[in-house]
Structure 1
């Protein structure tokens, strides 16, 4: 009996330590007074005064808002500031909700409180299995249209006509041009991009966990650059946490590092003030990004993707190390940003020239516990911004296909990028092709001298080779000469049936078809009839098998033609296209 009593006593103590008493929305009345908690300097929360103006019931379906006036010595100068989102509000010692909404240029500090009852469901956020693949989201409409990505339209969060308090997004370690790009795109999404809040070493007090009123961060990038959103903790129950009082991106299930934060100062502003802060120690994971709050779990770690970027510009060389969230919205935009920023550090004047890119992508197949490495190489020309955007998109596209593949759960284990900048335009245009050997028979190797005109330079020539198939029957064949990239585009159009993988292995094989602008491709299409069965090409099928595979079985395709291609590497980006006609001699011994 004594043991049972002790157990009940411990449970009561545990409940008192890890939960708070909540005031129901129906009990909140105009004229009630209470207090809020927030950090204005350092890590310790201070109190400010709250007076309820009224409750706006059903301002949107199933949504209400508490209107209140805020005052006190600690916020007298700044009023409501960005970074105060999530500040817990108490009346009679009971938690009412979180400060979440306000307006600029107010003569009094008046804002909206998100009722805690509407925030609690965010804790129940579960990981969803999507019924169809998603698209990466990008902040630039033109890029989204070109790359078939989802465009994230600028629609700042609000509740009725009440605007949420913008979340300060602190950026450090990135070039000014990249920061300006992020400001232009993300300030319309409910963020306020602020340059600063960098290295947090020496700022941490060593405190563990979080408590209501603490400054909290959601970290997107760390390492040689740091990007983190800053807000305030509203509610803690054991290892469960609610922060912000409004959405981060309203993305549903997410996995991002949740950190403590150090507030340097609150900068007063006539429009709206903001906290100048830095993310410090990681304490958990943010997982539930909902309309009324962001839910987190203390003691867990969010998976991050290691990224290494090495950039060489003539005799200068630099290596950068980053970790980035694995998120479909932030990854493509921030990866492009850190790639461009890394290069700007050594090439700030953006001279035109050529960028040679080598990419390695490590992908773990969780189903088979196997790690594969995909490699991509290519040339890019133009000013830095244009060529580096091409380089980033070159890598982002296969990552999207892998992340949202139909066949297996995967984990992106890391990205390695090597970029070399050459000041000159290394471009060569295909001008003329001369066949060097006549009287060729099936199976022979054809040699072609290709003449290329350099950009603002002389002509050069290069011999390319192509081995003919042994089972030719036509008197003449046409060889096609172009860059490997152009050949790949032509192949994708003419043999689209082969680009629908039916397994994870077929997807990897397709993504490994590394078509580069600096390779000369010599190719021909043989007139062969076959089928695509289970995603694999099966040429030269008998008619009976053809009828069975290509027509009777659903999901297979009829295929006319077979591509043969051989490549020759160059030190130039190849432009243009040339046909070469070859006469086949069947009379030779």
Structure 2
């Protein structure tokens, strides 16, 4: 009996080692034209099938480049699929029982897909030897190789470790460091204004939206300010009002363009997404283009809903060569990634795809099971219709020769939970996705998921009025969370404005120059209607004709809501104790309007030169303290009637900017608090006016 048990154990041990070990390999030096072999893949369900392969030759691409094997596919399976199709990449190819490489790519888009390239196995094996500095960003406290329980994973996945590898800092510094020769500290306020605004030049397009027109007008102001030699420059440009929302969106776009230059040496990489309707897909595509990625809506989707312990992770997962596998950046109600085939497995390490997905090198993505529902053939290109299954590991390398990953280890991830209430349809929807911790892609994917959630809930173009409240759980701020609310209206696409501040907050956290920011969770609530909920300020009348410094004055502000009767609100305002005697001019405006001069004090501009000027916490506070679009704000201004007044106004504005720039953060907040008063309304306030009161000592 004992001998029998020992024999069984030895058989099981030998079988296990065989299953996890690499098969014998054949290098390109051993291949000859005309050799026959086969490839293994899955075209439907879980059953592996094979097709015939004939070696045509080896293509040497020169020093430093990977060799490629040119081959021809044939046989019943290939006739059924009409050639090698998308999703077959990574399929292991064998000659004389030895692994020679992985199905990689077609010869060309306009060539019948019967001839294809194979990535040699000797090139792919190098992936396992590459450094993995992002392993330390696996902040879930799950040790390598150790397989945790589901409860342990759920409990610990958000306990992030601050000790990230130096290589990550080098990577961030490469893209975010102040360029050589740039001054580390800004000079005078006027110089700072010019530097800020010169970094926000806008490329005009033939088809401009209303927002584009506003931005172009801002550019004209910028150009006038920079050209000090002009005699016809309006000296009150620092008092010019612009839309802060537009300013934020354009500065983010500018930063995206600056980062795009770091990745422009490769062609656009296809990313397959699900859950995104056409409008949301266009929004995502517009943002991913700066990452050298192009999203496509295909058959990729999550086979089971996420959000409970039983649906997300599969423990003790195994894969074998020829199995389908998913490489996923976002997982859940909205997903982004791709499916391919496993080429080789050794222990808990896998190789697959035979080509890059994002070509970003060391990465931190989900490895998932993949279900092949079927295939769809085309005249020149076909595709496997597939879905992402449960999370089974972490993909850590995304290289030209393929992807590499580790089974039963999991990437750090950030859950994004979005609740959208649609007032027109009277329904409320909740969406949940997890984004693999990738600082480069996080702001784009998170904001696109919120946009797509609005799109799917409303089932229409995203025109109308929205209210958003978002909470980012992070230890970067003392309170442990960053919160912001605002209200927006746009007749064409309010969604892009709704997600602007969220995008910027995540961007500031992701580009923290001091240390990696621990982002634990993102929660977003959106209230959405197609109605136009805007109002214009008609008048603002003080309850007394004159007042003393330090005295409280009530302003009765009349509003004209869109297609509704006038309403009056009362806003108390305390005259600053330092206010001079004489006529005091005040500005009554919607919170979404800002003077160019005020931009001098903000940390909102995201050009690389400015990143080091304020801490991440300071930048987040700048967003948090911004006036909201549905607020009415009263603050002092200057009455400009003559050219002499204009000259005086700009000098005083610059002087004030310099004084504020020297203040501490606390002093600046107190100064601004004492200079303005505001009140919230149920409308987006779309204009500004001036009023006045006489001050007597």
Give me the TM-score of the superposition, normalised by structure 1: 0.80
Q: Counterpart in 2 of 1:175?
A: 277
Alpha-carbon offset, residue 350 of structure 1: 3.9
C-alpha change, 1:339 and 1:12, in structure 2 (3 Å) is: closer
C-alpha change, 1:436 and 1:562, in structure 2 (3 Å) is: closer
Which residue, out of 530, 538, 541, partners 1:434? 541
Tell whether the 8 Å contact from 2:439 to 2:511 is kept in structure 1 after alignment: no
Q: C-alpha distance in 1, partners of 2:378/2:623?
A: 51
Tell whether the 8 Å contact from 1:254 to 1:286 is kept in structure 2 after alignment: yes
C-alpha change, 1:337 and 1:495, in structure 2 (3 Å) is: closer
Q: Counterpart in 2 of 1:109?
A: 114
Give the alignment's Cα RMSD to 1 decimal. Answer: 3.9
Q: Counterpart in 2 of 1:536?
A: 665
Q: Spell out, residue by residue over 1:238-285, the C-alpha distance to the aligned partner (whole angstroms, 9 max, x if none).
A: 222222111111122221110121111122221111111111121111
Tell whether the 8 Å contact from 1:530 to 1:537 is kept in structure 2 after alignment: no
Tell whether the 8 Å contact from 2:356 to 2:400 is kept in structure 1 after alignment: yes
Which residue, out of 96, 111, 121, partners 1:92? 96
Q: C-alpha distance in 1, partners of 2:293/2:595?
A: 37
Tell whether the 8 Å contact from 2:313 to 2:391 is kept in structure 1 after alignment: no
Greater displacement, 221-230 / 298-307: 221-230
Q: Counterpart in 2 of 1:509?
A: 621
Tell whether the 8 Å contact from 2:92 to 2:101 is kept in structure 1 after alignment: yes
C-alpha change, 1:230 and 1:174, in structure 2 (3 Å) is: same
Q: C-alpha distance in 1, partners of 2:250/2:604?
A: 25
Which residue, out of 123, 132, 152, partners 2:173? 132
Q: Counterpart in 2 of 1:451?
A: 558
Q: Counterpart in 1 of 2:253?
A: 147
Q: C-alpha distance in 1, partners of 2:322/2:663?
A: 57
Q: C-alpha distance in 2, partners of 1:533/1:134?
A: 30
Q: C-alpha distance in 1, partners of 2:172/2:468?
A: 35
Tell whether the 8 Å contact from 1:156 to 1:190 is kept in structure 2 after alignment: no
Q: C-alpha distance in 1, partners of 2:387/2:488?
A: 37
Greater displacement, 432-441 / 118-127: 118-127
Q: C-alpha distance in 2, partners of 1:218/1:371?
A: 35
Alpha-carbon offset, residue 471 of structure 1: 3.1
Q: Counterpart in 1 of 2:427?
A: 316
Alpha-carbon offset, residue 23 of structure 1: 2.5
Tell whether the 8 Å contact from 2:584 to 2:694 is kept in structure 1 after alignment: yes
Question: SS state of the match for residue 480, structure 2?
Answer: strand
Q: Counterpart in 2 of 1:417?
A: 524
Q: How does 1:363-374 map to 2 (within 5 A)?
A: 363-365=474-476, 372-374=480-482
Alpha-carbon offset, residue 329 of structure 1: 5.8
Q: Counterpart in 2 of 1:579?
A: 690
Q: How does 1:218-257 map to 2 (within 5 A)?
A: 218-257=327-366
Q: Counterpart in 1 of 2:157?
A: none
C-alpha change, 1:276 and 1:181, in structure 2 (3 Å) is: farther
Q: C-alpha distance in 2, partners of 1:149/1:372?
A: 27
Alpha-carbon offset, residue 97 of structure 1: 1.8
Q: Counterpart in 1 of 2:33?
A: 30
Greater displacement, 266-275 / 343-352: 343-352
Q: Counterpart in 2 of 1:118?
A: 123
C-alpha change, 1:40 and 1:254, in structure 2 (3 Å) is: same
Alpha-carbon offset, residue 404 of structure 1: 0.9
Alpha-carbon offset, residue 523 of structure 1: 1.8
Alpha-carbon offset, residue 194 of structure 1: 0.8
Alpha-carbon offset, residue 494 of structure 1: 5.6
Tell whether the 8 Å contact from 1:481 to 1:523 is kept in structure 2 after alignment: yes
Q: Counterpart in 1 of 2:233?
A: none
Q: Spell out, residue by residue over 1:320-358, the C-alpha distance to the aligned partner (whole angstroms, 9 max, x if none).
A: 222233435654444344333333444224485321222
Q: Counterpart in 2 of 1:70?
A: 73
Alpha-carbon offset, residue 488 of structure 1: 7.4
C-alpha change, 1:60 and 1:389, in structure 2 (3 Å) is: farther
Tell whether the 8 Å contact from 1:228 to 1:279 is kept in structure 2 after alignment: no
Say yes or no: does 1:289 pair with 2:294: no
Alpha-carbon offset, residue 105 of structure 1: 5.4
Question: SS state of the match for residue 76, structure 1?
Answer: helix
Q: C-alpha distance in 2, partners of 1:49/1:521?
A: 73
Q: Counterpart in 1 of 2:51?
A: 48
Tell whether the 8 Å contact from 2:368 to 2:391 is kept in structure 1 after alignment: yes
Alpha-carbon offset, residue 200 of structure 1: 4.2
Greater displacement, 251-260 / 312-321: 312-321
Q: C-alpha distance in 1, partners of 2:44/2:604?
A: 61
Q: C-alpha distance in 2, partners of 1:231/1:204?
A: 19
Q: Counterpart in 2 of 1:556?
A: none
Q: C-alpha distance in 2, partners of 1:43/1:37?
A: 12
Question: SS state of the match for residue 213, structure 1?
Answer: coil
Q: C-alpha distance in 1, partners of 2:680/2:282?
A: 38
Question: SS state of the match for residue 506, structure 1?
Answer: helix
Q: How does 1:142-541 map to 2 (within 5 A)?
A: 147-151=253-257, 169=272, 171=274, 173-175=275-277, 177-179=279-281, 189=293, 192-195=296-299, 197-200=301-304, 208-314=317-423, 315-328=426-439, 330-350=441-461, 352-365=463-476, 372-383=480-491, 386-487=493-594, 490-493=597-600, 502-524=614-636, 530=659, 532=661, 536=665
> Higher strand share goes to which structure?
1
Tell whether the 8 Å contact from 1:86 to 1:245 is kept in structure 2 after alignment: yes
C-alpha change, 1:489 and 1:120, in structure 2 (3 Å) is: farther
Tell whether the 8 Å contact from 1:363 to 1:412 is kept in structure 2 after alignment: yes
Q: C-alpha distance in 1, partners of 2:265/2:377?
A: 22
Q: C-alpha distance in 2, partners of 1:22/1:254?
A: 27
Alpha-carbon offset, residue 474 of structure 1: 4.7
Tell whether the 8 Å contact from 2:586 to 2:690 is kept in structure 1 after alignment: yes
Q: C-alpha distance in 2, partners of 1:426/1:442?
A: 37
For structure 1, the 5+ residue unaligned runs are 1-9, 136-140, 159-163, 540-559
Greater displacement, 464-473 / 299-308: 464-473
Question: SS state of the match for residue 148, structure 1?
Answer: helix
Question: SS state of the match for residue 300, structure 1?
Answer: coil
Alpha-carbon offset, residue 156 of structure 1: 11
